[in-house]
């Protein structure tokens, strides 16, 4: 999708969107930051159903962008562990603000997640926890 994209404008918003501004990247980051997903399989079984080829592609891009790192699972040699870097965890405020906005405007209500509630209760705490590598 985003190679070394020609969309370079110098705008900070555009820079961010180059890195994670597609339909899936932020959802992968959310699964890791909010749900604590660590393996390929866990990410594949996320709430929205990303397809396997797209997931593989995004993981590679996000790794190249320094958002996450891939390591061998010490307990299972056929498994890898994905984890967010500080750069990736620093996207917590972005996730939080999107959740706050959605909580305000999504009439349908948001089931299956206490994330919105937690952020509404104490945004700083949630952001701080994610930044430290903990679950919200």
Q: Using CB under 8 A as the criterion, which residues of the chain lie in contact with its own copies when the complex forms?
A: 7-17, 21-23, 26-27, 30, 34, 47-48, 66, 87, 90-91, 93-106, 108-113, 115-116
* 9 binds DNA per the rule CB under 7 A: no
- Residue 28 interacting with DNA (CB under 7 A): no
Question: Please, is 83 exposed, middle or buried when counting C-beta atoms within 10 Å of its C-beta (0-12, 13-18, 19+)?
Answer: middle
Residues in 54-93 that interact with DNA by CB under 7 A? 54, 56-57, 59, 70, 73, 76-80
Instruction: Tell whether the torsion through CA atoms of 14, 20, 24 and 26 is positive or negative.
Output: negative
Measured from the CB atom, is 29 or 59 closer to its own copies? 29
Q: What is the dihedral sign for C-alpha 33, 46, 37, 25?
A: negative
Say what angle helices 123-131 and 92-105 make with each other, to 10 degrees. Answer: 150
Residue 88 CA to residue 84 CA, distance in Å, equals 5
Q: Contact between 53 and DNA (CB under 7 A)?
A: yes
Residues that bind DNA (CB under 7 A): 1-3, 6, 22-24, 39-42, 49-54, 56-57, 59, 70, 73, 76-80
């Amino acid at each position: 999708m985003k190679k070394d994209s020609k969309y370079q404008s110098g705008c900070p918003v555009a820079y961010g969107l180059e890195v994670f501004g597609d339909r899936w990247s932020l959802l992968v980051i959310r699964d890791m930051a909010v749900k604590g997903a660590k393996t390929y399989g866990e990410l594949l079984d996320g709430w929205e159903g990303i397809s396997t080829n797209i997931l593989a592609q995004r993981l590679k891009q996000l790794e190249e962008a320094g958002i996450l790192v891939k390591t061998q699972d010490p307990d299972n040699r056929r498994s890898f562990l994905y984890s967010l870097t500080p750069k990736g965890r620093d996207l917590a405020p972005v996730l939080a603000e999107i959740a706050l906005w959605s909580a305000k405007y999504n009439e349908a209500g948001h089931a299956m997640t206490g994330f919105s509630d937690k952020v509404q209760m104490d945004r700083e705490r949630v952001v701080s926890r994610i930044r430290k590598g903990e679950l919200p």
